[in-house]
């Protein structure tokens, strides 16, 4: 089962321009017009993706508009950032901000994150994986669609190097508890004593976090370390 619902129609204005003019620079598999159909896992390879192939790799699952990925890439030129997103406007937004920030160590892939981490990416290829504010699927009958579960934890563990970090955050209390329970139950990770962690200073304040805070929801962070 896919871990996402593909969204986004025809783009206009600066988003369309970003894809058309700069898509080939940042978007894995983009054609000359900046368009890419959702990549299948067997079509993906890290080979030749970044200028510095030996730099530590950071994966952001569900990068949204790209604010986190671009800010981190700009502040950490010695690291490679691979943003995974299916929302077409989010892809265009990420490219727009990447061009403005003049980053070269960022790439974006439109693909099923569960499949990409599950078997397409090489084993132990990443120094960090981020899962910030994934779709909460708040209705009880929809919670089986949530990304962070035992199977996804195994996929994250597969791509993380020993000592690598999985950073998670949500503004939904019950999803935060689910995240905490998943990682503390996994034999592949260790966490702090109670499973919670302070807000990571490297995470920028995105609209998702602002929206949750404005609604009076507490932000929950979980940090897991690959054993």
The packing angle between helices 67-75 and 88-101, to 10°, is 30
Which two three-digit tokens encode residue 66? 């790209």
CB 123 within 8 A of CB 110: no
Which two three-digit tokens encode residue 23? 């898509």
Helices (H), 44-172: 67-75, 88-101, 113-115, 150-159
In the residue annotation, 135 being an active-site residue is answered as yes
Instruction: Label each residue of 77-92 as H, E or C.
Output: CCCEEEEECCCHHHHH
* Number of helices followed by number of strands (H, E) in the chain: 7, 7
- Give me the catalytic one of 135, 174, 188, 192: 135
Please list the active-site residues. 135
């Amino acid at each position: 089962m896919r871990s996402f619902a593909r969204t986004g129609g025809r783009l206009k204005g600066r988003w369309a321009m970003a894809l058309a003019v700069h898509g080939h620079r940042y978007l894995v598999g983009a054609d000359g017009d900046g368009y890419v159909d959702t990549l299948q896992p067997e079509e993906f390879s890290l080979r030749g993706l970044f200028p510095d192939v030996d730099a530590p790799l950071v994966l952001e699952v569900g990068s949204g508009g790209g604010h986190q990925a671009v800010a981190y890439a700009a502040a950490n030129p010695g690291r490679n950032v691979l943003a995974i997103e299916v929302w077409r406007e989010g892809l265009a937004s990420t490219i727009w901000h990447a061009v403005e920030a003049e980053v070269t160590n960022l790439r974006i892939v439109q693909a099923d994150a569960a499949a990409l981490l599950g078997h397409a990416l090489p084993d132990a290829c990443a120094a960090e994986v981020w899962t910030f504010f994934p779709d909460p699927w708040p209705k009880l009958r929809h919670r089986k669609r949530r990304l962070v579960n035992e199977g996804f934890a195994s996929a994250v563990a597969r791509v993380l190097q020993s000592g690598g970090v999985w950073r998670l955050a949500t503004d939904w209390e019950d999803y935060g508890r689910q995240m905490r329970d998943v990682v503390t139950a996994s034999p592949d990770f260790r966490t702090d004593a109670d499973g919670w962690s302070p807000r990571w200073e490297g995470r920028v304040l995105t609209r998702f976090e602002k929206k949750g805070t404005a609604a009076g929801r507490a932000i929950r962070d979980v940090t897991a370390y690959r054993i």
